[in-house]
């Protein structure tokens, strides 16, 4: 009887061990399983992609987002991306560009020209609307102005012209962008994030 119990015990341990080994070999899916290192970058993310942004904003929290659309800005031979993402609270915009190195930023909020002390006529010339602007206690200094073609969903048939003015924050972390789309003027406060700290759960489709 004792020998029989020992045999049953060894069989049970063997079954448990086999199931544990099999579970360890099964690939994980879903948000718990980011893509393998080296298999993709934020530059390749497209509609349906799932990302986790590193801590940002006043609460310094990570944020999971799903890419809804991938837009492209083109200025002569230079191009950069805008990922339109969705999160639980609404739309999240992530800009991605490669200058000397890969850079990324997330839009924190949209601002009115009135909040900046500007008017639409301030954006009518070729000069900077202001040399410095202050937002949330941060001083932003004018860095560049230009014109670009905005390709909605990266489609040349859905192209629009945009004029932009870029400002860099003295804190070396935030930036301020002002855009003019015909008669529509927009301003955005953005925060730079380290693209290497963006976790990519899925690249989705690319354009």
Nearest CA-CA partner of 204 in 105, 85, 57: 85
**pLDDT, position 35:** 54
pLDDT digits (tens, 9 = 90+) for 72-123: 999 999 999 999 999 988 999 999 999 889 999 999 999 999 999 999 999 9
pLDDT of 34 over the 50 cut: yes
From the list 138, 115, 147, 142, the residue with the least C-alpha distance to 128 is 142
pTM for the full predicted model: 0.79
User: H helices of the chain, where?
Assistant: 2-25
């Amino acid at each position: 009887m004792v020998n029989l119990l020992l045999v049953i015990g060894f069989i049970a341990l063997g079954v448990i061990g086999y199931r544990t080994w099999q579970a360890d070999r099964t690939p994980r899916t879903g948000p718990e399983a980011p893509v393998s290192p080296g298999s993709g970058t934020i530059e390749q993310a497209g509609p349906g992609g799932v990302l986790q942004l590193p801590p940002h904003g006043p609460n310094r929290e990570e944020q999971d987002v799903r890419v809804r659309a991938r837009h492209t800005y083109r200025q002569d031979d230079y191009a950069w991306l805008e990922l339109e993402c969705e999160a639980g609270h609404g739309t999240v915009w992530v800009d991605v560009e490669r200058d000397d190195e890969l850079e990324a930023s997330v839009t924190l909020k949209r601002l009115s020209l009135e909040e900046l002390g500007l008017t639409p006529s301030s954006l009518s010339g070729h000069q900077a609307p202001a040399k410095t602007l202050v937002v949330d206690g941060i001083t932003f200094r004018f860095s560049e102005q230009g014109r670009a073609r905005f390709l909605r969903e990266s489609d040349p048939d859905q192209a629009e012209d945009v004029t932009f003015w870029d400002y860099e924050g003295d804190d070396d972390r935030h930036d301020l962008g002002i855009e003019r789309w015909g008669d529509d003027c927009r301003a955005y406060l953005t925060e730079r994030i380290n693209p290497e700290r963006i976790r990519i759960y899925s690249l989705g489709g690319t354009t």
